[in-house]
């Protein structure tokens, strides 16, 4: 798989849980087991909602690791390039000044600002990438199930797999299950 394709896959996998089946869990073990069941059953429309990050959830969901660090690198390189080339432009071409007999192209003096802008661009770029990839900023997004930001874990499965298959995935594990239609939420 090419690099571009890999990035694209990382980009477009977020799905809104606006239709389908939801199961709520209060136990982390049972929740992970149910997610693994869904993955093993080959469910493609799948997402989880948890109040905190859970170790091993990515593997259970069968999703690839995040590519967000690629954007850190890209934005960081933009920062260092912008800073260094701008300072060279100013000191060598646009406004050459003799300051204490230092050479116009005094590259060691450019290191601190180049470094700071690498961090600034890299950091802000990473956060921007998170907001885009994680589809944050849609502030009126309905909560898929009660308590998923507090004490409940939820598994969402798209409704194309059918109720029976969903019930077999979460049988004996979920605290509660329900179905949501497009445009309505609990």
**Binding residues for other proteins, per CB under 8 A?**
13-14, 17, 28-29, 32, 47-58, 61, 63, 65-66, 68-69, 72, 76, 86-87, 90-91, 94-95, 97, 99, 102, 106, 109-110, 112-113, 115-117, 119-120, 122-124, 126-127, 129-131, 133-141, 143-144, 147-151
Residue 71: CB minimum distance to other proteins, A: 9
Strand partners, 157: 21, 46
- Cβ proximity to other proteins, 54 vs 164, nearer residue: 54
Residue 41: CB minimum distance to other proteins, A: 16
Nearest to 138 by CA among 51, 52, 47, 17: 17
Tell me the C-alpha distance between 110 and 112, whole Å. 6
Residue 129: CB minimum distance to other proteins, A: 8
Nearest to 129 by CA among 63, 50, 68, 40: 68
- Between the alpha carbon of residue 8 and those of residues 96, 162, 175, the distances in Å are 45, 29, 36
- Cβ proximity to other proteins, 126 vs 177, nearer residue: 126
With a CB cutoff of 8 Å and minimum separation 6, the contacts of 86 are none
- Cβ proximity to other proteins, 72 vs 165, nearer residue: 72
- Cβ proximity to other proteins, 99 vs 171, nearer residue: 99
């Amino acid at each position: 798989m090419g690099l571009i394709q890999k990035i694209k896959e990382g980009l477009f996998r977020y799905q809104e849980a606006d239709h389908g089946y939801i199961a709520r869990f209060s136990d982390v073990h049972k929740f992970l087991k149910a997610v693994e069941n869904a993955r093993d059953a080959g469910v493609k429309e799948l997402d989880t909602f948890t109040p905190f990050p859970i170790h091993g959830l990515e593997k259970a969901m069968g999703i690839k690791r995040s590519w967000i660090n690629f954007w850190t690198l890209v934005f960081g390189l933009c920062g260092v390039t912008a800073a260094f080339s701008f300072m060279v432009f100013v000191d060598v071409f646009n406004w050459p000044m003799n300051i204490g007999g230092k050479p116009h192209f005094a590259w060691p003096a450019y290191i601190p600002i180049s470094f700071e802008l690498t961090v600034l661009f890299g950091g802000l770029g990473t956060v921007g990438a998170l907001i885009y990839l994680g589809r944050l900023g849609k502030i009126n997004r309905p909560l898929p199930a009660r308590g998923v930001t507090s004490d409940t874990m939820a598994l969402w499965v798209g409704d194309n797999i059918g109720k029976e298959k969903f019930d077999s995935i979460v049988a004996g594990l979920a605290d509660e299950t329900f179905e949501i239609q497009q445009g309505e939420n609990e």
